Amino acid sequence: MVNISDSAIENIGKVLNDPKRPMKERFRALFSLRNLGGETAIKCISECFTDESVLLKHELAYCLGQMQDVRAVPILKSVLENKNQDPIVRHEAGEALGALGAPELQAILEKYQNDSAIEVAETCQIALQRLKWIAARNTREENLSQSRYASIDPAPPSEVTDVEELRNTMMDESKSLFERYRALFSLRNLGTTDSINALGEGLRASSALFRHEVAFIFGQMQDERSVPFLKKTLEDTAEHEMVRHEAAEALGSIATDECTEVLKRYLHDPRPVVRESCEVALDMSEYENSPEFQYANTLLTVQS
C-alpha cells in the first residue's frame, strides 16, 4: 500500500484538472487517484466534471464507481441529473451509482430509467436490476461463475457456461438488457475462441450501449483474437462515438503493432471523444509494451 500525503494527492489532482496538460497525462493522474482512493482523491476527481472533455468526464464517473466509496454518491447524482452533461457522461454516472450498489440509490435510478437519452435510460434500467439482484442475494445465494477481472461489472455473470446458449441470450433483444449483460460477462469469463467470436456478434446489437460494453469487455480481455472486431468498429465512422471510443481503448490495451497502426490513423478523427481515446490508447499501448508494472504508477510522485 502506497503511503502518500493529502498534499501529494492534491498535486496529482492538479494534473488531472489542468486542461493545458496532454490528455494522456490527465488520464494517468485520474487512474492514480482511483488507485489511491479516499476523500481527497474523490474531491480532486469531482472538481473535474466542469471540464470540456466528454471522454475525460465519462472516465471520471467510471473511476468513482469502481472506487466503491459512497462519498462519491453526491457528485454522481448531480452528474446524472444534469441534462447539460453529455449523455455519455450521464450514462457513466448512472452505471457508477449501480456499481456502488446501495439500496437507497434505487429512487434516483428509477427517476431516470425512462430518460430522453436512450444511453442514460438503458444504463439506469440495468443499474436498477443490479440493485434488485444484490437485494435478492441477501436471502438467496446463487452459484455464479467467478470473474477473472477486478472490475465491478454492471451485471453479474450468468450461471450458464454453454457458448451457444449464452450467445442466443445475448442476441435476444426481447430479453432485458440485464439478462443479456449477464450472458455477455459469462462469455468474457470463458475466454475461448468460440466465446470471443460470440462476443464479436454482439457488436451487431441494436443498442449502442450494448455494443459499447462488448468493446469494453474486449479491452479487459486483452486478447488478440478480438482485434478484427475492434478494428472494424473503430473504422466504422457511422458507429456511435461511445462504441468507437471503447474500441479504441480496447485496442490500446491489446497493444500489438496492428493495434497501434489503426489507432494512429484516427488520431485526428472529427469526433473529439474518438481522437482523444486514440491518444490515450496509444499511451496505454506504450505502457503495455514497457517494463512499467502498472499504467498509472509514475503519477504517484508527479508534481504540478
What is the reported pLDDT for 193? Answer: 98
Mean pLDDT of 21-26: 95
Distance CA 290, CA 287 (A): 5
pLDDT digits (tens, 9 = 90+) for 252-277: 999 999 999 999 999 999 999 999 99
What is the reported pLDDT for 290? Answer: 64
Of residues 135 and 206, the one with the higher pLDDT is 206
What is the reported pLDDT for 4? Answer: 86
Sole residue written with cell 455464479? 144
Question: Domain of 74?
Answer: 1-141
Q: In this structure, what CATH number is given to the domain that contains residue 108?
A: 1.25.10.10
Cβ neighbours of residue 291 under 8 Å, at least 6 residues apart?
none
CA distances from 239 to 232, 236, 246 (A): 10, 6, 11
Over the chain, what is the mean pLDDT?
Answer: 91
Q: State the CB neighbour count (10 A cutoff) for residue 185.
A: 25
What is the reported pLDDT for 137? Answer: 78
Task: Say how many Å lie between the first and final Cα of the chain, rounded.
Answer: 23
The yes-or-no verdict on residue 304 having pLDDT over 70 is no
> Of 90, 120, 141, which residue sits at a domain end?
141
Q: How confident is the model at residue 119 (pLDDT cuts 50, 70, 90)?
A: very high
Identify whether 299 is part of a domain: no
Identify whether 13 is part of a domain: yes
Share of the chain above pLDDT 70, in %: 90
Distance CA 282, CA 80 (A): 30
Do 285 and 159 share a structural domain? yes
Task: Give the torsion sign (CA, 83, 73, 17, 267).
Answer: negative
Mean pLDDT of 23-49: 97
